[in-house]
Amino acid sequence: MDPFTIPSAPTDVEVTSATSEVMTICWKRPTSDGGSRISGYIIEKREKQGVRWVRVNKKPVYDLRVKAPGLHEGCEYEFRVFAENVAGLSEPSLPCPLTMAEDPKFLPSPPTKPTIIDSSRTSITLSWNKPLFDGGSAVTGYKVEFRKSGEEDWTVGVHNTDTTEFTVTGLTSGTEYVFNVSSINKIGISESSPETDPEVAMEREEEPRFDVATDIRKPLIVKVGGTFTLTVPFTGKPVPSVTWDKADIDLRIRGMINTSSSISSITVERATRDDSGKYIVRLQNVAGSASLTLNVRVLDSPGPPSNVAAKDVTNNSATVTWDIPENEGGAPVNNYLVDIRDISRKGWTRLTDKCRRLFYKLSDLEEGGIYFFRVTAENEYGIGVPAETKEGTKMIDTTDWETNPGA
């Protein structure tokens, strides 16, 4: 025995919009789906004088509304809907009331009060929202008018624009103006919107600011040898000057900087560990200033360790110490390599290639000998740049060890 039954009929079928050619029909789901998910809906139409119901959709509709095209202007139509599941089609719904296929006979409402968003010595830009009521027909454009404050006669700025923003040009510098906007549909032009607040045609001053997303503050990860570009959009009036800075590097030489009236970028090629760090962008105009810090991390081997020195020197032993490199590259240092060189030789001898501390103890050195020491840091991206003691260390049994500037 089949466990499923056909669904009950959809309810509340109605025409929600109509023109001379198309109607939109909506309905509600059946109260019972017969135990099986509704797989679609079938819609049928019938003219007022007709006897036969004609299917509207070739394929099942999954939404709760459908557009019925190909109607004849001046004819009245009614619609009914079937629901379908695995068991089959439901009984038809009750037909909706007869609806005439005709274009709306209403003007749209006007937009709400427009807003002034920009100005110059000879132009003013305003914007507005679409009207709350389109008269049953899509709004196709807007008419913009303006007049000088204190005068009564309106001048048309544009007869029909399809955007919700417009710049009126050819204005007199220093003169105050007001504006209104009307909506347009197939029937005609609406009443005028409320007037804007008065606005003087003059250059605006706006503090510079960065128009960036919050995630731009996350570090940019770059592979060694790669190319990266930092891009920052900005606003400000007049157009602000832009500078890029990074500690110890002249970015005008190291990178390629491109700046327009609203965006600035810097591109760095063949990235190394020295390109890691903070990049500071600064904006400046007469209205104020702003700065933004961007972080870059280049996945490279470490820079040289800091403060390499020999301590606790005796006549045959010493301890080499150092600090973590100022630039660890793209990852924390996880190992150090330590080398030694006798003052009488040019080549270095490896003492260890596995040291995880910031010191290394040596013994069995020659009494009175003078030695140089070298330390190299390593991370997951490779072996870095070595650093060595600047002066030779003499092996003598004293707390104050001597140095020799030789070699």
Please give the pLDDT value at position 1: 52
Question: Tokens in use for 298?
Answer: 């280049």
Q: Is there a single domain that holds both residue 18 and residue 94? A: yes
**60 in the same domain as 37:** yes
Domain count, the chain: 4
* Rounded Cα–Cα distance for residues 230 and 211 (Å): 14
Tell me the per-residue pLDDT of 354-366, one tens digit each, with 9 for 90 and over: 999 999 999 999 9
- Whether 383 and 337 have beta carbons less than 8 Å apart is answered as yes
Residue 264 gets the label, from left (phi > 0), alpha (psi -120 to 50) or beta, of: beta
23 and 58 share one domain: yes
Residue found by looking up tokens 């009236």 in the block:
261
Do 310 and 400 belong together in one domain? yes
End residue of a domain, out of 178, 200, 222 = 200
The two structure tokens encoding residue 39 = 């797989």
Task: Classify residue 383: in a domain, yes or no.
Answer: yes
Q: Identify whether 5 is part of a domain.
A: no
Q: What is the pLDDT of residue 401?
A: 45
Q: pLDDT tens digits, the chain, 407 residues: what are they?
A: 568 899 999 999 999 999 889 999 999 999 999 999 999 999 999 999 899 999 999 898 999 999 999 999 999 999 999 999 999 999 999 999 999 998 877 899 999 999 999 999 999 999 999 999 998 789 999 999 999 999 999 999 999 999 999 999 999 999 999 999 999 998 899 999 999 999 999 988 889 999 998 888 789 999 999 999 999 999 998 899 999 999 989 999 999 999 999 999 999 999 998 899 999 999 999 999 999 999 999 988 999 999 999 999 999 999 999 999 998 887 899 999 999 999 989 899 999 999 999 999 999 999 999 999 999 999 998 999 999 999 999 999 865 544 555 44
pLDDT, mean over the chain: 92
Asked whether residue 109 is assigned to any structural domain, the reply reads: no
pLDDT at 313: 92
**Sequence-distant contacts of 46-54: CB under 8 A, at least 24 apart:** 46/77, 46/78, 46/79, 46/80, 46/95, 47/72, 47/75, 47/76, 47/77, 48/75, 48/76, 48/77, 48/78, 48/98, 53/80
Predicted pLDDT of residue 406? 47
Asked whether residue 151 is assigned to any structural domain, the reply reads yes
Which residue among 166, 200, 234 closes a domain?
A: 200
Same domain, 311 and 369: yes
CATH number of the domain to which 374 belongs? 2.60.40.10
Classify residue 162: in a domain, yes or no.
yes
Within a domain: residue 286?
yes
**Structure-token match 């049994």, residue found:** 397
Give the global pTM.
0.51
Residue 96 lies in a domain: yes
Of the candidates 25, 190, 42, 27, the one whose C-alpha atom is nearest the C-alpha of residue 101 is 25
Phi, psi values for residue 56, rounded to 5°: -90, -45
* Domain ranges, residue 169: 115-200
**The pLDDT of residue 105:** 77
199-214 pLDDT, tens per residue? Answer: 999 988 889 999 998 8
Give the per-residue SS3 of the chain.
Answer: CCCCCCCCCCEEEEEEEECCCCEEEEEECCCCCCCCCCCEEEEEEEECCCCCCEECCCCCECCCEEEECCCCCCCEEEEEEEEEECCEECCCCCCCCCEECCCCCCCCCCCCCCEEEEECCCCEEEECCCCCCCCCCCCCEEEEEEEECCCCCCEEEEEEECCCEEEECCCCCCCEEEEEEEEECCCCECCCCCCCCCEECCCCCEEEEECCCHHHHCCEEEECCCCEEEEEEEEEECCCEEEEEECCECHHHHCEEEECCCEEEEEECCCCHHHCEEEEEEEEECCEEEEEEEEEEEECCCCCCEEEEEECCCCCCEEEEEECCCCCCCCCCCEEEEEEEECCCCCCEEEEEEECCCEEEECCCCCCCEEEEEEEEEECCEECCCEECCCEEECCCCCCCCEECCC
**Could you tell me if residue 70 is inside a domain?**
yes
- Looking at 176, 200, 224, the residue that finishes a domain is 200
